[in-house]
A and B are shown apart, each in its own frame.
Chain A
């Protein structure tokens, strides 16, 4: 599979061709620190929700889905869009003032007090789910 498309194609082999039509062929910069981290939180702005009626297709879907904050990865999964398509469109929508994009602060997430809160919160997770899981 890796031999299918040697050369500069930055998105790899199909089936990713169709999704990138919506970004006019633009792709997110894959270099570290230059594209939105997958856990980046996005939420619609008032301007974005006001403009909802004028947005089309994927842009509409993204702003509408972002009434509640969620990660770029969740958005891609729920809208069935390639992660990098969401990254590009999220940047567009941010520039248009229609989406607030909260890039996680690496210093904050690696802070000892934050890690302690995650540890305490995770410890509180019970051994098993409230609902019986199906057997496989």
Chain B
């Protein structure tokens, strides 16, 4: 549970502490799809919430001008972490998303090693923005269908077809409430990221 090694020499020793290298992954998807649940399932701390800014591109809303209108909105962002060892810490950030807007999440996603797009098969279109984002940013990602109550309303092939993701993008079923299930979904993304470094 302790995020860092304990202090040995009192307060002054804090300056000698070398912070861990933070590795960041992003969990994205539509509103209420299970992002925060997924973060909370694997995080060693209760998920924290902070206010972050995202840029909204109001695509297709304002048809009078063809220039996308951008506005910056303050949203709540949930995150958690897993200490790998004293020198390495994995951070999981749940990026806020909503329908109708394409988000520019650069402020949160910059430097992330990979992304997990959480999907509710009853509301597939909620995750289009996230899928588009990771594709365009060329960030390794997987699509994780959240099996609410253990049920998935569409087959993975149907999901893949509907989202039109490339063959290289893994599509998996997981349960955001199950720690082992979320862990395995994150591992799929990390393996993908690793394979890219070795390509």
Contact = CB atoms under 8 A, between A and B. Distances in A.
B110 interface: yes
Interface in B47-84: 48-53, 55-56, 58, 69, 71-74, 77, 79, 81-82, 84
A114 B111 contact: no
Contacts of A25: none
A122 B24 contact: no
Looking at A10, A15, A37, A133, the one whose CB has the most chain B CB atoms below 10 A away is: A37
Contacts of A30: 53, 55, 72, 107
Interface residues of B, number: 60
A71 B22 contact: yes
B163 to A, nearest CB: 25
B92 to A, nearest CB: 10
Contacts of A12: 53, 71-74
Given A32-B106, A73-B79, A123-B187, A67 B52 contact: no
B110 A32 contact: yes
A26 to B, nearest CB: 14
B20 to A, nearest CB: 7
Interface in A1-36: 1-2, 5-6, 9-13, 15-16, 30, 32-33, 35
B180 interface: yes
A100 B110 CA distance: 21
A127 B175 CA distance: 12
Given A77-B48, A77-B49, A127-B179, A43 B15 contact: yes
Given A32-B110, A68-B3, A104 B49 contact: no
B125 to A, nearest CB: 19
Contacts of B4: 68-69
A117 interface: yes
B84 A11 contact: no
26 contacts: A10-B72, A11-B72, A11-B74, A12-B73, A12-B74, A16-B74, A38-B52, A38-B91, A41-B22, A43-B14, A45-B15, A46-B15, A68-B7, A73-B48, A73-B50, A82-B51, A82-B74, A104-B111, A115-B193, A117-B84, A118-B23, A121-B82, A122-B190, A125-B42, A125-B180, A127-B179
